[in-house]
Amino acid sequence: MTVEVHDLKDFFRRAPLPFTSSRREQQIPDNVWTKCANCGELTYQKQFNDALKVCPKCGYHSRISSREWIDILADADSFVEHDADLQGIDILGFVSPKDNYEAKLAATSERTGTNDVVMSGSASIEGLPFEIAACNFDFMGGSMGSVFGEKVARAVERAADRGVPVLTINASGGARMHEGIFALMQMAKVSVALTRLARVRQPHISLLVDPCYGGVSASYASVADIILAEPGANIGFAGRRVIEQTIRQKLPPHFQTAEFFLEHGMIDAVVPRSDMRATIGRLLRLYERPTSSADHREHVVAGHQ
């Protein structure tokens, strides 16, 4: 094929190729290229999707939704959603000069097509059943309000009733302050539900993904038998700047990352997204119990009394 010079000029003007840094600034069609939030490199959208939205250049694990997590982890067609109809209400009538909670909740629900942060249900990996509750950070910064807490608590209680493990995937900015004390009490509510699961000797596997902060990291997400995290995930309670200002000291560069938490014994493993399904599948197999769930539950409960 021969191409005239003026055609080439036109071609380069229209084609969003990653030749130079100035090219990166140009408008990129959503469905062709994606730009890494960490290194700025461009990747074909299909290649990026095939790599589970991990940058092939720098390994940055971009944020994904709860639905995407379930698609990555669960056996095909095994996921049955529960409590999708639970909807938050503005119980305190929260309005500030910048914020109207009721309107914000309605607008976010419409934009995301979900009622709140958490998607929960029953699923399996390699045929091994478990309950799952996964956060979508895109919904109001993954903030934990009444619906969030209720859905996670119900997932844990369902796991206890069925005698199966529960997996929580946690990405959150913390408690949803628009709900005040009703948000804060979710930390205790979910933690209490987890004691029921412990009583039937089933594990809570907690996966911390970027970012996991505040009341979620400070409560149930850290109360787990196994805690995994994704590479580079930011994890903590308060943010770096707040801590540096409070203690008047400079913190190490990788402070509050998954790797820092692993070095200090706070989590069990840092697992790349491509290995996550196999890793959680292996854990479910290790915890698999030979007895039927009902028999086992009666046995354990009787043993505790």
Binding site for Zn ion (CB under 5 A): 36, 38-39, 55, 57-58, 60
CB 164 within 8 A of CB 200: no
Tokens of 278: 């196999």
Is the CB of 34 or the CB of 168 nearer to Zn ion?
Answer: 34
Is the CB of 42 or the CB of 280 nearer to Zn ion?
Answer: 42
Is the CB of 8 or the CB of 37 nearer to Zn ion?
Answer: 37
Is the CB of 38 or the CB of 293 nearer to Zn ion?
Answer: 38
* Cα–Cα distance measured from residue 171 to residue 134, given in angstroms and rounded to the nearest whole number: 8
* Cα–Cα distance measured from residue 264 to residue 270, given in angstroms and rounded to the nearest whole number: 13
* Cα–Cα distance measured from residue 194 to residue 199, given in angstroms and rounded to the nearest whole number: 9
Q: Residue 55 CB, nearest distance to Zn ion (Å)?
A: 3
Burial of 47 (0-12, 13-18, 19+ CB in 10 A): exposed
Is the CB of 49 or the CB of 292 nearer to Zn ion?
Answer: 49
Q: Residue 262 CB, nearest distance to Zn ion (Å)?
A: 22
Nearest by Cα to 153 from 199, 202, 117, 189: 189
Q: Residue 125 CB, nearest distance to Zn ion (Å)?
A: 28
**Residue 224 to residues 195, 221, 266, Cα–Cα distance (Å):** 10, 7, 11
Q: Residue 1 CB, nearest distance to Zn ion (Å)?
A: 33
Q: Residue 21 CB, nearest distance to Zn ion (Å)?
A: 14
Q: Residue 60 CB, nearest distance to Zn ion (Å)?
A: 4
Is the CB of 55 or the CB of 267 nearer to Zn ion?
Answer: 55
Burial of 108 (0-12, 13-18, 19+ CB in 10 A): middle
Is the CB of 55 or the CB of 194 nearer to Zn ion?
Answer: 55
Burial of 16 (0-12, 13-18, 19+ CB in 10 A): middle
Provide the H-helix boundaries in the chain. Answer: 5-14, 21-24, 45-50, 66-73, 101-112, 146-162, 180-199, 214-217, 240-247, 258-263, 273-287, 293-304
Tokens 């390699």 belong to: 126
Q: Residue 39 CB, nearest distance to Zn ion (Å)?
A: 3
Is the CB of 56 or the CB of 180 nearer to Zn ion?
Answer: 56
Q: Residue 34 CB, nearest distance to Zn ion (Å)?
A: 10
What number of CA atoms fall less than 13 Å from residue 74's CA on the CB side?
26
